[in-house]
Structures are given as structure tokens and as C-alpha cells.
């Protein structure tokens, strides 16, 4: 028996018990003739005591232990004289009578502590060591608990968990596919699924009624803190439902998870905000509603007064930061430089302070009378001590997105984005299509199987760009945590959709014939939703990146620096796959 108890289990009630523990050496301290070792396993830390006067040889053996040595000890539980209130086992220690070194260890490349000295790159290279850190391990324990609760909730609602294949056909709509060459079918390729979309729809045709899967998905796209090339979805589909049915069930699931995982009771229905309003008032289809600063458009007030930047703009809008009039010129200049960053792209920023007496002091005073500035102040409902920040531009949507970045930055600077506060809402009434300059055609904003709003179906023939989708996204704290739609279940409507998206009948048949044919055999009305498991866990754990809630993540270049992947493969493997590799400069 390697251990009778874990390193997080023993308490004062266990005093005088003889126990066997096994784990890793966290740290060692020598004080006079005593040696103290903190022994760590997944469950916690227990202090071990070696006394030179009692057993000099055993104490000397303990002094030779290094960090991360794997050891087993036998000893007696003793009440600790100097108790440690910071750990659950802090009232006891083990007086060791026997020590076995199960494995020695090299000096680790970084300290395996909550506050480590290892940077991201070195921690990812030695991820198996990083996972020993309590802070990282707790994220994976949280992920485990969340998947258990997801399964419990969905099972209680009549869902069946069904696995779908990872080797499927490529569907170029949307993000780029990861492709896998087939040795048995030379010159042909599988794709890894971006989602199980068509397969879960086929399960609805099969009569499974309510399906779910905690599914691995793959997208070959540019990465950032909340995006990985492979990620995990809580993927769900339901038959005989309308939009309200799906929203109500999965809003219930979100409330259940908040209560079970975070102990947060959400009793009010989540707000439902049309996409057009989200873009107009927040410049984003995933607005962070933990704080205000709703956009105010100023075209009617600020245009036509001789300030050419505004006079020539297609959009003028601003935000009001409560209590921020104390910002210094240096801080305001830094904000101007922030919005001018290449990734944001604004040309400049105008500000206005509301003084204690109610007058408005602005960076463009010379162009505007106090009467006009007071109209602007009234439009925001601004009060003395507030700060108004204004952007303008020639492209309405682009300028709104820039203003969104400024709003989020102000939220950060003013401490308004509290990770222990949660603001959830649904974004609904998305446009069905968006124009792609690269493709020179309309593209599906979600995917080609999304059902249009019934009342907008006639517009498919006359003005498809105006069609709204039966689609919905759930947003939490400015992060899209899930989304879905009611699906097309009629083969003729699906064919019409493919036509608008530029598919010839032959191309549609080649890529999606299996689905369209299935619809001809009696497809029920259906819809669904997929939650991003990684994003949910990161929100519940209070993380800025999803990487720390994934056991073995990729870096921002899509590389696994621990496994050194992707990498080249042997020529023999290439020959078997009938592949010739040519790297373009």
C-alpha cells in the first residue's frame, strides 16, 4: 500500500494514528536538529517532521531530498505546536519513522508554487510540471465538476449523449478546416469538425429528439486569449422547438451552473437585445453590461459648426464616464494614443469635462459655444465630475467598434469589470448574411443551415441582406459563451439558401447532398445551441485566458511547445499518403 491517506485529508481528530503518505516534496526547511518537509499531492499539503535526536540517519536521509522528489513515508500524526491556519492540515504534522524515495527529480525549471517565477513559454514547455500547481489544478477540477453538472442537467431534461465522428468531410463555409489526408483514398482528405452541426441535425432527422455531446471542435483560425485551434463545446440539439423553447431551456442551464458551481443565484430572466441595438449602443455583438457608458450619437448636435473632423464624419458618438473628469491631460493623451493603435484604428479622440458648476470644458472649445456643449451634455445626462469621450469616422460600423474598445478600456481603468459580478444577456435578431469583400458575395453570418425569421422569408427573393436570422447568442461579461439557431428543415428553403450563398446546385449537392436528401425523408422542426466549455470555465475561474483551464493548450502561434507540434513527418509517411510537400515563400 503506497498510502493510507492523502496529503489533504488528516485533521486533529487523527492524532496518534499511524499513517502512510506518498507525494512530492514541495519544500524543505532545516531548523537546528529538526528537518521539516512539506509533502504535496493533488489533495493538499502535510508537514513532515524529522528529528535528528530521535533518528539521525533518517534525518540525514531527509536532508538529501530535493524539490519534487517523489517519496513515501510512514509516521504518526501529531498535534502541531505552531499551527498553520492557511492550509486545512495546518493543525497536525507527521512524525516520520520511515522514508522511502520512490523517485528522485531534477531541479524544476520554475518554482511549483501558486505565485510561480515561470513565464508562459517555460510553463507551457513543462506543462506537466505546471499542472502540479494548485492554482492550475483547481481550474481542471472546476472543469471536471462543470462537465458532471452539465450532464446531470441535460439528462434531467431528457437529452441523450451521442458521440459523432472526428473524421468528416470538409465544408469550406466559415473558418478554415484542419484537414487529414487519407492513405486508403489517395489524394482525398478528411476534415476535423468545426462543430458537429450537420451530424446533430441528422440525429434530429433520426428521431433522437434531444441530443447533446461534450464535443471536440477544430478551427484553423488566428488565435487570441479566448481562442484555441481545438476547443470543447457543450453541443446540443432539440426537435419540435421554437427559439423561445431553446432560450428558456439553456438559460435555465446557465442559472443551474451558476448556482451549482459558483453559488450565485440568478433569478431574473436574461435581457434579450436585438443585434442592431447591441451594435448601435455598444459597438459589439457581445456587450459587457457590468457597467454603463451606453453610446450616444451626436450627429445632430456636433455637425455643422466648423470643426471639419466632425463635419465630414458619417458617425459621431461618445460615452460618458461617471466621475472621471479628474483625468489629467497625460491620461487623456494616453487614451488618445490607445484608440490610435493600429488594431483599433481611430484617428483621434475628443474629450469634454463637466465642471463643478455644470459648465463644459472641451478639447474643441473654440468650435462650439457653451450652448451647444450644454446640448451635448444633456444628450448624455452628464453630471458635474463626469468625462465625455467622443470618436468620429467615415465608416459607421467601424467607428462604433472603435468606440467599443474605448468603452472597455475605460471600464478596465475605472475598475468596473469585476470578475465576481455577472451580467448575462441574449443577443437576438442577427442579420442572416454579411458581405464578404474577399469572396465578393454574401456569406452566412452563422452557418448555411440557420432558419430565417418567418416574416423575413419573402425578402430572400428581393433583399436578402435585410433578412434576419432565427439565431441567438448568450453573452456573459462581454464574452460570447454560447450560440445557436433554429435550423432549416425544409429541403426547398435550404436549396434557396445555398443559391443565395453562391452555391451551384451541383456544388450544394456535392457538399451537402446527404443533408438535403435526409430532409426529404421527414425532418422535424429543430434547433439548438452550443456553449463554449472552455470559456465558461475561464469565467467561473476568473481567468483572462482559456489556456489555463485546458490541460495541454497551444500557444498564440497554434504550437504545442511541450510536444513540439506541429512538426515535419518522415518521408516514408508522406510517400504512404501520396503527398509532396512544397512550402511557399
**Per-residue pLDDT tens over the stretch 45-65:** 999 999 999 999 999 999 999
Contact yes or no for 502/496 (Cβ under 8 A): no
- Secondary element (H or E) of residue 239: strand 230-239
Say yes or no to pLDDT of 12 above 70: yes
40 pLDDT tier (thresholds 50, 70, 90): very high
For 164, 210, 526, the CA distances from 203, given in Å and listed in that order, are 10, 9, 10
Q: Quick one: pLDDT at residue 3?
A: 96
Q: What percent of the chain has pLDDT over 70?
A: 99
254 pLDDT tier (thresholds 50, 70, 90): very high
Q: Quick one: pLDDT at residue 225?
A: 62
Phi, psi for 232 (deg, rounded to 5): -120, 130
- What is the rounded radius of gyration, in angstroms, for the C-alpha atoms of the chain? 30
Write the secondary structure of 113-157 as one string of H (helix), E (strand) and C (coil). CCCCCCCHHHHHHCHHHHCCCHHHHHHHHHHHHHHHHHHHHHHHC
Q: Quick one: pLDDT at residue 117?
A: 84
CA distance 293 to 408: 9
CA distance 289 to 426: 12
Average pLDDT over residues 70-96: 96
What is the SS3 assignment for 527?
strand
pLDDT in tens, 297-312: 999 999 999 999 999 9
Say yes or no to pLDDT of 439 above 80: no
Q: Which residue has the higher pLDDT, 207 or 443?
A: 207
pLDDT in tens, 193-226: 999 999 999 999 999 999 999 999 999 987 776 7
Say yes or no to pLDDT of 268 above 80: yes
Q: Quick one: pLDDT at residue 462?
A: 92
pLDDT in tens, 169-188: 987 656 789 999 999 999 99
Q: Are strands 424-428 and 271-274 parallel, antiparallel or unpaired?
A: parallel
Q: Of 12-26, 95-109, 110-124, 298-312, give the lowest mean pLDDT range.
A: 110-124
User: In 10 A of CB 17, how many CB atoms?
Assistant: 15
For 97, 275, 383, 461, the CA distances from 464, given in Å and listed in that order, are 80, 17, 44, 7
Average pLDDT over residues 149-165: 98
Average pLDDT over residues 337-350: 96
556 pLDDT tier (thresholds 50, 70, 90): confident
Q: Quick one: pLDDT at residue 173?
A: 59
User: In 10 A of CB 87, how many CB atoms?
Assistant: 15
The mean of the pLDDT values for the chain is 94
Report the range out of 213-227, 232-246, 492-506 with the highest average pLDDT.
232-246
- pTM of the predicted structure, to 2 decimals: 0.91
Q: Which residue has the higher pLDDT, 171 or 124?
A: 124
Average pLDDT over residues 143-167: 98
Amino acid at each position: 500500500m503506497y498510502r493510507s491517506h492523502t496529503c489533504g485529508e488528516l485533521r486533529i481528530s487523527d492524532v496518534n494514528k499511524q499513517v502512510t503518505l506518498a507525494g512530492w516534496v514541495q519544500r524543505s526547511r532545516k531548523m537546528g536538529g529538526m528537518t521539516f518537509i512539506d509533502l504535496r499531492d493533488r489533495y493538499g499539503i502535510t508537514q513532515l517532521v524529522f528529528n535528528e535526536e530521535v533518528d539521525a540517519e533518517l534525518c540525514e536521509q531527509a536532508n538529501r531530498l530535493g524539490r519534487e522528489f517523489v517519496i513515501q513515508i510512514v509516521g504518526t500524526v501529531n498535534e502541531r505546536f505552531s499551527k498553520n491556519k492557511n492550509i486545512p492540515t495546518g493543525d497536525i504534522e507527521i512524525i516520520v519513522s520511515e522514508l522511502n524515495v520512490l523517485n528522485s527529480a531534477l531541479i524544476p525549471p520554475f518554482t511549483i508554487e501558486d505565485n510561480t517565477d515561470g513565464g508562459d513559454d517555460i510553463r507551457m514547455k513543462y506543462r506537466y510540471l505546471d499542472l502540479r500547481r494548485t492554482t492550475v489544478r483547481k481550474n481542471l477540477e472546476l472543469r471536471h465538476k462543470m462537465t458532471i453538472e452539465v450532464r446531470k442537467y441535460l439528462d434531467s431534461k431528457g437529452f441523450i449523449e451521442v458521440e459523432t465522428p472526428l473524421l468528416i468531410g470538409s465544408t469550406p463555409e466559415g473558418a478554415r478546416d484542419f484537414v487529414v489526408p487519407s492513405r486508403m483514398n489517395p489524394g482525398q482528405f478528411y476534415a476535423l469538425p468545426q462543430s458537429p452541426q450537420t451530424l446533430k441535425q441528422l440525429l434530429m432527422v433520426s428521431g433522437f429528439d434531444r441530443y447533446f455531446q461534450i464535443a471536440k471542435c477544430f478551427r484553423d483560425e488566428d488565435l487570441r486569449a479566448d481562442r484555441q485551434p481545438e476547443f470543447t463545446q457543450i453541443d446540443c440539439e432539440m426537435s419540435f422547438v421554437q427559439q423561445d423553447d431553446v432560450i428558456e431551456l439553456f438559460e435555465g442551464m446557465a442559472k443551474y451552473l451558476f448556482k451549482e458551481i459558483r453559488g450565485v443565484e440568478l433569478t431574473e430572466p436574461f435581457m434579450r437585445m436585438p443585434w442592431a441595438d447591441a451594435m448601435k449602443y455598444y459597438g459589439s455583438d457581445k456587450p459587457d453590461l457590468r457597467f454603463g457608458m451606453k453610446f450616444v450619437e451626436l450627429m445632430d448636435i456636433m455637425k455643422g459648426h466648423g470643426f471639419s473632423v466632425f463635419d465630414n464624419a458619417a458617425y459621431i458618438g461618445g460615452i460618458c464616464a461617471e466621475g472621471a473628469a479628474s483625468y489629467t491631460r497625460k491620461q487623456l493623451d494616453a487614451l488618445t494614443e490607445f484608440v490610435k493603435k493600429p488594431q483599433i484604428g481611430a484617428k483621434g479622440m475628443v474629450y469634454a469635462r463637466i465642471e463643478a458648476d455644470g459648465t463644459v470644458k472641451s478639447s474643441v472649445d473654440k468650435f462650439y459655444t457653451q450652448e451647444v456643449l450644454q446640448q451635448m451634455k444633456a444628450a448624455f445626462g452628464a453630471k458635474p465630475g463626469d468625462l465625455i469621450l467622443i470618436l468620429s469616422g467615415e465608416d459607421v460600423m467601424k467607428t462604433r467598434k472603435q468606440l467599443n474598445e474605448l468603452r472597455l478600456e475605460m471600464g478596465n481603468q475605472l475598475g468596473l469589470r469585476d470578475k465576481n459580478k455577472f451580467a448575462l444577456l441574449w443577443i437576438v435578431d442577427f442579420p442572416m448574411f454579411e458581405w464578404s469583400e474577399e469572396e465578393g458575395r454574401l456569406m452566412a453570418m452563422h452557418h448555411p443551415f440557420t432558419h430565417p425569421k418567418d416574416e423575413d422569408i419573402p425578402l430572400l427573393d428581393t433583399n436578402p441582406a435585410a433578412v434576419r436570422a432565427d439565431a441567438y447568442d448568450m453573452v456573459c461579461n462581454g464574452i460570447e459563451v454560447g450560440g445557436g439557431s433554429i435550423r432549416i428543415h425544409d429541403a426547398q428553403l435550404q436549396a434557396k439558401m445555398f443559391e443565395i450563398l453562391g452555391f451551384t446546385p451541383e456544388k450544394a449537392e456535392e457538399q451537402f447532398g446527404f443533408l438535403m436528401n435526409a430532409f426529404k425523408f421527414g425532418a422535424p422542426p429543430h434547433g439548438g445551441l452550443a456553449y463554449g466549455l472552455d470559456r465558461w470555465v475561464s469565467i467561473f475561474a476568473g481567468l483572462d485566458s482559456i489556456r489555463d483551464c485546458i490541460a495541454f493548450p497551444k500557444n498564440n502561434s497554434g504550437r504545442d511547445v511541450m510536444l513540439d507540434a506541429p512538426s515535419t513527418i518522415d518521408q516514408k509517411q508522406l510517400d504512404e499518403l501520396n503527398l509532396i510537400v512544397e512550402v511557399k515563400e
